[in-house]
Structure 1
Amino acid sequence: MSDETSAAILCDSAYVYRTHAITLDWTHFQELADRGAKRNSTTDLWDALALVRGPVLDGCYHWWLETPVIENIRAEIVDAADLLAELELDAGRPDRSARAARQGLTSDPYAEQLWRALMRAEYEAGNMSRVHEAWKACLKAVAEVSADGDPHPETAALYRRLTSVRRSA
């Protein structure tokens, strides 16, 4: 370890290390996502989601992290993606809304709120076949993690509402 690196990592105890002058993608994500949420800034939220490249710590041996830490990271990514999808949909950009939901789903494919956002975006874009595709993908994801295999009632109600109403041409 170089002198420069060792000066940036300080040992507080036998098990706690503090870093100074080292930045992580996660820190940058949090800054962008927080600023984006406070300002309803799609630019900041897109910049934050650009840092998401798949499942949290995918391919890493992360035995040293407690499960709640990983779950918190996933939740923050999902929240940012959900907010961005909502802002883009409210701005009349369903294609960008769908893209935001899909980006969040790369991190957490079980996040039903993102499946709902995706279904709403595809519906608003007039892509009924993609609404059905999103529903089927959601059901498949939920079946992998849910004891009863059923989606949240809000998800099922949204799908029924979107598929029972005819869109005007």
Structure 2
Amino acid sequence: MDHLEYCLLGSIDACVGGRRLEIGPRKRRYVLAALLLDLNRPVPVERLIDAVWEGSPPDSARMTVQGHVYRLRRTLPGVRLERDASGYVLRADPERVDALRFRRLVAEAAGLGDEAGADLLDEALALWRGPALGGSGGGKALEVAAVELDEARLAAVEELARRRLRTGRPELAVTPLRASVTADPQRERLVSLLMTAFYRLGRQAEALELYERTRRLLADQLGVDPGAELQTTFESLLAAPP
């Protein structure tokens, strides 16, 4: 039988042989996500409750979580979801969870040279299908986890861009940077890197246009000027020959 694959870098899903399984309602997916984020470690029922409900959970929360665990066991073929003294533990190979594989690849890339590290970062970023944990919507524990994963993705995009620029391959930095800037236009470091990539490709006008668009956005939405890093990038491009 094909192994289960678990997806958290986008919607919360499980697949067998490339076929997406029908897990059930959102709260059941939140329970699965909380178990996967602590893969191979016992997760207390209280933590599962915190992952599912925002604010005060209902009196039936514990029984509801137990029901979702029961249904996950019935729905996911071959799943190893065991009862522990303090809660539940889902046992699986970490490589079968895209979020854990992403973190491993990023960690390995940090110890490699620019070319090999960039290739691993490309592989890591290719695992993403959308906002982490489907944009969450669950309890505070899942919201925090989703923010941390999304931040790790942006940091990986930045590191990939720096490596591509250092190795003289700005064309390979533009696509992931542009997508990330579109999604998070106020992240000035991404904007600075994209401006630099544009300039290295002989697209100075696009770089300066991006700066002006970002400057207006920061002024209109936050009432602030560009920070020192972005301002320095802008000034260096102005001073550079066209």
Question: If the length of structure 1 is used for normalisation, what is the TM-score?
Answer: 0.77
Contact 2:199 2:207 survives alignment (8 Å): yes
**Cα distance 1:75–1:60, how it changes in 2: closer, same or farther (>3 A)?**
closer
Distance 2:141 2:103 in 1: 18
Instruction: State the match for 2:90 in structure 1.
Output: 19
Question: If the length of structure 2 is used for normalisation, what is the TM-score?
Answer: 0.57
Contact 2:157 2:176 survives alignment (8 Å): yes
Instruction: Specify every segment of 5 or more residues in structure 2 that has no aligned partner in the other structure, as ranges.
Output: 1-72
1:3-14 aligned at under 5 Å gives the runs 8-12=80-84
The partner residue of 2:229 within 106, 129, 154 is: 154
Instruction: State the match for 1:76 in structure 2.
Output: 152
Distance 2:109 2:89 in 1: 27
Instruction: State the match for 1:94 in structure 2.
Output: 170
Contact 2:106 2:124 survives alignment (8 Å): yes
Instruction: State the match for 1:163 in structure 2.
Output: 238
The partner residue of 2:112 within 26, 35, 39 is: 39
Distance 1:122 1:94 in 2: 8
Distance 1:7 1:30 in 2: 23
Code of the residue aligned with 1:8 in structure 2: it is R
**Cα distance 1:141–1:77, how it changes in 2: closer, same or farther (>3 A)?**
farther
1:41-91 per-residue CA deviation (whole Å, 9 max, x = no partner) reads 111100111122343344543335354433322221122111111111111
Greater shift, 131-140 or 149-158, is seen at 131-140
Instruction: Specify every segment of 5 or more residues in structure 1 that has no aligned partner in the other structure, as ranges.
Output: none
Code of the residue aligned with 2:74 in structure 1: it is S
Higher RCO (C-alpha under 8 Å, 6+ residues apart): 2
Identity of aligned residues (%): 25
Contact 1:115 1:135 survives alignment (8 Å): yes
**Cα distance 1:10–1:65, how it changes in 2: closer, same or farther (>3 A)?**
same
Contact 2:137 2:143 survives alignment (8 Å): no
Contact 2:136 2:146 survives alignment (8 Å): no
1:98-137 aligned at under 5 Å gives the runs 98-105=174-181, 108-137=184-213
| Residues paired across the two proteins, number | 165
Code of the residue aligned with 1:30 in structure 2: it is R
Distance 1:28 1:107 in 2: 23
**Cα distance 1:154–1:58, how it changes in 2: closer, same or farther (>3 A)?**
same
